[in-house]
Amino acid sequence: MAKTVLSVDDSSSIRQMVAFTLKSAGYEVIEAADGQEGLNKAKMKTVDLVLTDQNMPKMDGLTLIKTLRSMPAYRVVPILMLTTESSDAMKMQGKAAGATGWLVKPFDPQKLLEVVKKVIG
Amino acid sequence: MGGVLAGAAVVALLLHGLISVAGMGNAAILLHGLVTVALVFFAWTMMGSSTGSTEQILQDGARESAVENVLMQTYPQFSNQFSGANSDMSQVQVLLADAIEKLMSSFDGMHRLIDSQRQSASSVMVSHSGQDGQASLESFLDETSDTLKQLVGSIVNNSKVGMELVEKMDSVSQQVRGILKVLGEIDGISKQTNLLALNAAIEAARAGEAGRGFAVVADEVRKLSARAEHFSQQIRANVNQVHDAIEDAEQSITRMATLDMDFALRSKKQLEVTLTQVQSMNENMTAVIQQQTSISHEVDMVVGRAITSLQFQDLVNQLLGHARLRLDSMETAWHKIGDWARESGRDGSIPREKIEQMRLEIDSILAQAGETSIRKPVSQEQMQTGDIELF
């Protein structure tokens, strides 16, 4: 069965590009426009990978990661940060919050696929 | 103090003129606003440096009616420019989001088309190489070639048999000619018999009464000879018919054999040419399909690069959002300053505590603006792919 990826980003174009890239490789993609919506959708269905932006209205990426990590269903699910933030300080915060990896925008579709494949197969 | 502000206003006017000449459209409005704000703050700082503490400036400023006048006069325009710049930037954000969404849909469509093209190409390849239990074109060609070669071989064989048949017909023809010769002999015999019967009749007549019986025998012999001749002629006519028929058959068979042979040889040659052509067409097709597959991979790569570049919208959107935050702080500060100027104009003087409170408010707005500007969400200066780090 196809693995499901939850793409959380307030930019609809980024969600569109992530969905385009992952769907073309056979993944199923669920979209959410902010951290809160992402959290709700993650609760409705346990996904195989969460790909989230950092700066978003309502709930940011770091908070989303922390909240998900506190839930038993998401203790080991890979969570990747896809953001324009590139400072080491932010990355350290991400790592501390429980992120599996940190991708700085803009992403290269091919490399995104490689990372996703590496993380969830 | 009024002089500093008047000077600043002149510089602002000059800079506005320059910006308008540069003709930057919507951006010019924003720049007008920003230049004016910058110059007012510059003037403010100048006043500060000439008198000492911020508190002192504000007290001095409150007494300076020229400053109030400038503020009161420019206040509505500033408000207009602030909200104009803000709505321009928001319009840019909306336009960019819309354009990128449409571009992405186009790329999505392009990708789908290329993908279906690649699939049809690979399905041709599959039927080519004979997977899925289908006969491959190559083995089909080989089989066709074999079958046709067998067909040509049997035609050539038929022709050979035909030629042998013609030879045999020829010998039959000779035999028939032999029969006709033998019939000639029979004719000679019956003529001679007829002559003998005639002589016997003459001799019988000469013998008179005694030869009467012999005359009857001689007559019977003559009749017999006539029957033999008649019989021989019938046989000759029949044999002649047989001879003609054989000759006809011989000609037909000869025609057929040579025709077959020619046709078979020509077909064989043509078939070889056609098979070579089909073979090379097949090779060409395979090459074209392979080329198409590699082109569609290249298109995928180009689309991938386009997608990387299209993400500029997200970066620009965040930067614009950030710039709008800065602008919002400036606008809030500016409103405070305007309120202050209005109040002091109305009351003539403002109580000391009120001034202190306003100073604190503005300071806090500016401090917040400073914090906002330090935390910039986007540090990229070029559209190259970002780093990837797995923890």
DSSP B250-272: HHHHHHHHHHHHHHHHHHHHHHH
Residue A36 touches partner B, C-beta closer than 8 Å: no
Write the CB contacts of B141 (distance below 8 Å, at least 6 apart in sequence). Answer: B275, B278, B279, B282
Write the CB contacts of B305 (distance below 8 Å, at least 6 apart in sequence). Answer: A108
Cβ of A106 and B390 within 8 Å?
A: no
Whole-Å CA distances, B231 to B142, B184, B187, B384: 65, 12, 9, 117
Axis crossing angle, helix B65-129 with helix B212-310, rounded to the nearest 10: 160
Chain A: give the shortest CA distance to residue B132, in Å.
24
pLDDT at site B28: 47
Residue A117 touches partner B, C-beta closer than 8 Å: no
Cβ of A11 and B377 within 8 Å?
A: no
Chain B: give the shortest CA distance to residue A100, in Å.
6
Mean of pLDDT values over A69-78: 92
What's the rounded Cα separation, in Å, for the pair B292 and B282? 15
Residues 40-79 of A with CB under 8 A from B: 55
Of A86, A89, A41, residue with least CA distance to A68: A41
Cβ of B107 and A110 within 8 Å?
A: no
Tell me the two tokens of residue B235.
């046989």
Cβ of B385 and A13 within 8 Å?
A: no
Give A105's contacts in chain B (Cβ within 8 Å). Answer: 311, 314-315, 380, 386
Give B298's contacts in chain A (Cβ within 8 Å). Answer: none
pLDDT at site B128: 56
Percent of chain B whose predicted confidence (pLDDT) is above 90: 5
Residue A7 touches partner B, C-beta closer than 8 Å: no
What's the rounded Cα separation, in Å, for the pair B114 and B292? 10
Which of A16, A20, A100 comes nearest B390 by C-beta?
A100
Cβ of A14 and B377 within 8 Å?
A: no
- What DSSP state is assigned to residue A52? E
| Residue whose tokens read 């020829």 | B170
- What DSSP state is assigned to residue B24? -
Task: Give the strand pairing for A28-32 and A49-52.
Answer: unpaired
Q: Give the tens place of pLDDT for each residue, A17-68.
A: 999 999 988 999 999 999 999 999 999 999 999 999 998 999 999 999 999 9
Total length of chain B: 391
Q: Give the tens place of pLDDT for each residue, B243-268.
A: 899 889 888 888 887 777 777 778 77
pLDDT at B278 over 90: no
Cβ of B387 and A14 within 8 Å?
A: no
Give B389's contacts in chain A (Cβ within 8 Å). Answer: 91, 101-103
Give A24's contacts in chain B (Cβ within 8 Å). Answer: 111, 115
- Which of B107, B372, B390 is best to mutate for the A interface (most A CBs within 10 A)? B390
Give A84's contacts in chain B (Cβ within 8 Å). Answer: 314-315, 318, 377-380, 386
What's the rounded Cα separation, in Å, for the pair B188 and B176? 19
* Closest chain A residue to B303, measured at CA: A109
Taken in order B123, B124, B129, B135, the sign of the CA dihedral is positive
Of B69, B87, B92, residue with least CA distance to B33: B87
Tell me the two tokens of residue B130.
């004979």
* Closest chain B residue to A86, measured at CA: B379
Give A86's contacts in chain B (Cβ within 8 Å). Answer: 379-380, 386-387
User: Nearest 10 degrees: CA dihedral of B87, B88, B89, B91?
Assistant: 80
**Quick count: other Cβ atoms within 10 Å of Cβ B276?**
10
Mean of pLDDT values over B217-222: 90
* Closest chain A residue to B96, measured at CA: A13
Taken in order B235, B240, B245, B246, the sign of the CA dihedral is positive
Q: Give the tens place of pLDDT for each residue, B12-62.
A: 444 444 444 444 444 445 555 555 555 555 555 444 444 445 555 555 555
pLDDT at site B11: 47
Cβ of B315 and A101 within 8 Å?
A: no
3-state secondary structure of A100: coil
Cβ of A17 and B101 within 8 Å?
A: no
Give A119's contacts in chain B (Cβ within 8 Å). Answer: 390
Report angle CA A115, A117, A121 to the nearest 5 degrees.
145
Does the complex come out with an ipTM higher than 0.90? no
> Rounded to a whole number, what is the distance in angstroms from the first to the last CA of chain B?
59
What's the rounded Cα separation, in Å, for the pair A54 and B365? 25
pLDDT at A97 over 50: yes
Mean of pLDDT values over B75-97: 88
